[in-house]
Amino acid sequence: CVFFSVSSRAMASKTPVGFIGLGNMGNPMAKNLLKHGYPVIASDVFPESCKEIQDLGAQVRRHCCFCNLNTFFTSVLNVFESPFVSDKILRKVKKGSLLIDSSTIDPSVSKEMAIAAEKMGAVFMDAPVSGGVGAANSGKLTFMVGGAEEEFNAAKELLTCMGANVVYCGQVGTGQAAKICNNMLLAIGMIGTAETMNLGIRLGLDPKLLATILNMSSGRCWSSDTYNPVPGVMEGVPSANNYQGGFGTTLMAKDLGLAQHTATNTKTAVPLGSLAHQIYRMMCARGYAKKDFSSVFQFLREEENQ
């Protein structure tokens, strides 16, 4: 989840980008900005997180030293609840700035952010990301952008340094709406893939063979062919590394909570989304909070043995 601001809407030159928050997603995204020639001034609540990006040429500063910068890029769990972002950036942002928020939050919060930015003479856009850590590393993220259409090209110039797909969704909040819908489907698909793989293994099928069959058949999905939850089926995914890294179960539970909230507000029936939310909340309570969300396969296996 990333928030940043660009001091010039024209973006004719590659002005410095203040990048706050260097977590699993923020770190590779900041690296890709550097690769594309943007000067990066970085900061993180954990100073040790800054060392790698500093070695690559970024400047490192404390949060309190960011106030004089024209361009910001911060990565926080919830941008609206970050005192630094709300107090130091939104309330002191320079007139004419373009603010882009890539955290995953409620669309209504994005609209509040836009109002706060407008009061300062700035423009706010929401641009949550999809694709996970792998896509962040390779610069192939998908950005779903909401905001004033006339500002989209300025945002796109920067976002294409980090993503292969930059899609304009509509007014402020529509980027968040698209992301919430995507992650609800992702959770449902991952649970379905985990259940299917587990059933096949119980029936005596080799998991690699089953995955191959699924991926050439109508059951194919991202969770089966790109991010398989079964250890030993794929290399380079969290299931091959004891579910470390990737997209945390806590974050998935949070996003499903956002989906539930928006579904209630719009009176939309989401029975599978609701069940997925319950499952991921249960996982968080049973020791899976810090594991990748694909660990639902391991969770289901353990549930059978209780």
* Strands 163-170, 141-146: pairing kind: parallel
Known active-site residue 179: yes
* Strands 141-146, 129-130: pairing kind: antiparallel
- β-partners of residue 59 are 41
Residue 34 DSSP class: H
One DSSP character per residue, 43-97 reads E-SSGGGGHHHHHTT-EE--GGG-TT-S-EEE--S-GGG-HIIIIIIITTPPTT-
Q: Which residues contact 98 (CB under 8 A, 6 or more apart)?
A: 5, 6, 7, 8, 9, 122, 123, 125, 151, 154, 155
Q: Per the residue annotation, which of 31, 88, 179, 291 is the catalytic one?
A: 179
Annotated active-site positions, please?
179
